[in-house]
A and B are shown apart, each in its own frame.
Chain A
Amino acid sequence: AQSVTQLGSHVSVSEGALVLLRCNYSSSVPPYLFWYVQYPNQGLQLLLKYTSAATLVKGINGFEAEFKKSETSFHLTKPSAHMSDAAEYFCAVSLTGNQFYFGTGTSLTVIP
């Protein structure tokens, strides 16, 4: 069974600094990979997804993620954090597209 691990349940960055949120998956076959964001008191919304078309995936709000098969990773980055990026971020994997497995989430705090 596939699973996903998010390292760091809480990450703090200064406004304008690089954001790096880590996600590793375990699967013998490259899965479909997703990053979702959850703002306070809201449901999750898609940031970006890996569909095997390109290893570097660009998403909304300036976020991007790179699929690295050799490292079984799909880390999320943003060059310059903004206050509005404060939220909880979830990595998710799906092997067949029939079910999703979510990571435990990383809460991002942006310090002014």
Chain B
Amino acid sequence: DADVTQTPRNRITKTGKRIMLECSQTKGHDRMYWYRQDPGLGLRLIYYSFDVKDINKGEISDGYSVSRQAQAKFSLSLESAIPNQTALYFCATSAGGGYQETQYFGPGTRLLVL
């Protein structure tokens, strides 16, 4: 079984709709991240959380919100989706700080906003 899972894997929605992307992990990591990937732009950090009570904005948080329901679950919401939020979204986890911080990625959610 995969250590980091994302649901759904693909989603098509309409402008203005609210949607939620979910991430679960079985690695026991405290830190979780949400990124979006766009062609030619690489990965950009949306939000990150170092524990259940800690939520931090990343580089491009506008238009997004997150919820850390438990150590293992981190959800990303688009309150009112717009077409330029069409992208590939990745959840990632890591164990701790410093040089040991390898990130482990989920398989991604491909979102299309019409």
Residues on A close to B: CB < 8 A? 9, 32, 34, 41-46, 49, 51-52, 90, 94, 96-105
CA gap between A43 and B41 in the complex, in Å: 16
CA gap between A103 and B44 in the complex, in Å: 9
Tally the A-B contacts, defined by beta carbons under 8 Å: 57
Known contacts: A9-B40, A43-B4. The answer to whether A100 contacts B105 by CB under 8 A is no
Please list the 9 inter-chain residue pairs (A to B) with the smallest Cβ-Cβ separation, ordered nearest first. Answer: A43-B105, A51-B99, A104-B42, A102-B43, A97-B97, A102-B42, A44-B105, A97-B98, A97-B101
* A105 CB contacts on chain B under 8 angstroms: 42
> In which size bucket is the chain B interface?
20 to 34
CA gap between A55 and B99 in the complex, in Å: 14
Sampled A-B contacts (29; CB under 8 Å): A34-B102, A42-B107, A43-B4, A43-B105, A43-B106, A43-B107, A43-B108, A44-B92, A44-B105, A46-B102, A46-B103, A49-B99, A49-B102, A52-B99, A90-B43, A96-B97, A97-B98, A97-B99, A98-B50, A99-B48, A99-B58, A100-B33, A100-B43, A100-B103, A101-B45, A102-B44, A103-B42, A104-B40, A104-B41
CA gap between A17 and B102 in the complex, in Å: 29
Q: What 1/0 flags go to B75-104 for Cβ under 8 Å of A?
A: 000000000000000101000011111110
Residues on B close to A: CB < 8 A? 4, 33, 35, 40-45, 48, 50, 58, 90, 92, 97-103, 105-108
CA gap between A43 and B100 in the complex, in Å: 20
* B35 CB contacts on chain A under 8 angstroms: 102
Q: Which of B42, B45, B90, B102 contacts A43 (CB 8 A)?
A: B90
* B106 CB contacts on chain A under 8 angstroms: 43
CA gap between A103 and B97 in the complex, in Å: 21
CA gap between A103 and B112 in the complex, in Å: 24
